A = this chain, B = another copy of it.
Amino acid sequence: MVIIMRAGASAQEIGAVVKQIEQIGMRAHLSQGEERTIIGMVGNDRPVDRSVFELMSGVDRVVPILRPYKLASRDFKKDDTVIQISTGNGHAVKVGGQQNGLAMMAGPCAVETREQIMESARLVKAAGANILRGGAFKPRTSPYSFQGHGEEALKWLAEARQETGLAVVTEVMAPEQVPLVSAYADILQVGARNMQNYPLLNAVGLSTRPVLLKRGMMSTMEELLMAAEYILSNGNYNVMLCERGIRTFETYTRNTLDINAVPVLKSLSHLPVIVDPSHATGRWEYVTAAARAAIAAGADGLIVEVHPHPAEALSDGAQSLTPENYTRLVNQVRRVAEAVDRTV
């Protein structure tokens, strides 16, 4: 890190900072400007708490130099991570890497009935999806809303997997649910509201299942990468980053799809990047345009809400596509994918 002293900091104040740097086993490097002195800290200072220095007399600001994540960074691993997702028919979907096809995740927000999820699975498979989504445990803003069917829904998902050969992604909400969800699902989803639920990140980090990590709706890309770092540092390297829209002052759409995050995350990190155009817009009529944009920007896949009968959906119906609209989306996305040398 670099410590910027205030204009007019005394020699004593500068000396104290240097001494503090040396006390924690680093070396200090002074740069005397015309108006201010700048002190560089030499060494791997990732674990050093910068606030120690921010408090010292004469210090104006402390600027970190090293990115706080390591395992998630391109500096650490140059090549794209490719994640093998096992599917219901013994094959695998490969997610990540320019040479591999797109991960096409689709299905209803919540698993409502056995029939609904079986029907959804067949329809999204026919449209071109290779991974089935569906929530068994639902984080809901209101305690009075439908909270998911839990293990029963997991069983239905596994049945749909069996029949269609689709892999299954579903959300896990608490550390103690990880073994249960892992028993049925191919991919563990960590939801946006739980992106900084550290006990949960540690628990999925100890699992052997790939993880779909959703960006918090007001989390920076750096915080998303730090959350991924929690999982990676526990030994699970199969993490997919998911941009699902951020909260801004704009209220016409439910969230603002941060399309910049696609090329930025892919340049900062080797992990695959998935986009959720359903949450990122919140209105079904804009989902397809957002999906095309995501693939054009370089995303490795999409996760889309599709419901056989959206008007009867128990949650998030307004952002769900009908199967017909999802088929249209896949066809349009296929053409855009080819234009950027990817395939569906």
Interface residues of A (CB under 8 A from B): 2, 4, 7, 20, 29, 31-36, 38, 40, 42-44, 46-47, 49-52, 54-56, 63, 65-66, 68-69, 75, 139-145, 147, 173-176, 193-194, 196-199, 216-223, 226, 229-230, 233-234, 246-253, 256-264, 267, 280-281, 283-286, 289-290, 292-298, 310-320, 332, 335-336, 338-340
Docked complex Cα distance between A47 and B31 (Å): 20
Q: Is the CB of B54 within 8 A of A317?
A: yes
The contact of A284 among B33, B55, B332, by CB within 8 Å, is: B55
| Smallest CB gap from A33: residue in B | B42
Distance, CA A66 to CA B196, complexed state (A): 31
Q: Which residues of B contact A142 (CB under 8 A)?
A: 46, 68-69, 226, 229
**Cα separation A283 to B267 with both chains bound (whole Å):** 12
Given contacts A218-B216, A248-B249, A289-B297, whether A140 and B198 have CB atoms under 8 Å apart is yes
Chain B residues whose CB sits within 8 angstroms of the CB of A281 once the complex forms: 260
- Contact A143 to B251, CB < 8 A, known contacts A40-B31, A313-B51: no
Question: A2 vs B141: C-alpha distance in the bound complex, in angstroms?
Answer: 21
Chain B hits for A312, CB < 8 A = 52
A226, B141: Cβ atoms under 8 Å?
yes
How long is the Cα–Cα vector from A317 to B54 in the complex, in angstroms? Answer: 8
Among B36, B56, B175, B336, contact of A339 (Cβ-Cβ < 8 Å): B336
Cβ A316 vs Cβ B222 within 8 A: no
* A293 partner residues in chain B, CB cutoff 8 A: 259, 262, 293-294, 296-297
Between A and B, 10 residue pairs with Cβ closer than 8 Å are A56-B311, A69-B142, A141-B196, A193-B196, A194-B197, A216-B218, A220-B250, A289-B298, A292-B297, A293-B296
Which residues from chain B contact A46 at a C-beta distance below 8 Å?
142, 144
Number of copies: 4
A42 partner, pick from B34, B173, B222, beta carbons under 8 A? B34
Q: How far is the CA of A217 from the CA of B193 in the complex (A)?
A: 12
Bound CA–CA A320/B75 (angstroms): 25
Q: Judging by beta carbons under 8 Å apart, are B311 and A75 in contact? A: no
A35 and B66 form a contact (CB under 8 A): yes
Interchain CB contact under 8 A, B145 and A233: no
* A275 CB, min distance to chain B CBs, angstroms: 10
| Interchain nearest-CB distance for A271 vs B (Å) | 16
Question: Smallest Cβ distance from A337 to chain B, in angstroms?
Answer: 8
B-chain residues with CB within 8 Å of residue A310 when the two chains form the complex: 55
Knowing A7-B75, A141-B68, the reply to whether A246 touches B256 (Cβ < 8 A) is yes
Question: A239 CA to B7 CA in the complex, in Å?
Answer: 24
Given contacts A50-B318, A51-B317, 6 further A-B contacts (CB under 8 A): A2-B2, A63-B63, A140-B198, A250-B258, A257-B259, A332-B339
Complex Cα distance, B5 from A66, in Å, reads 11
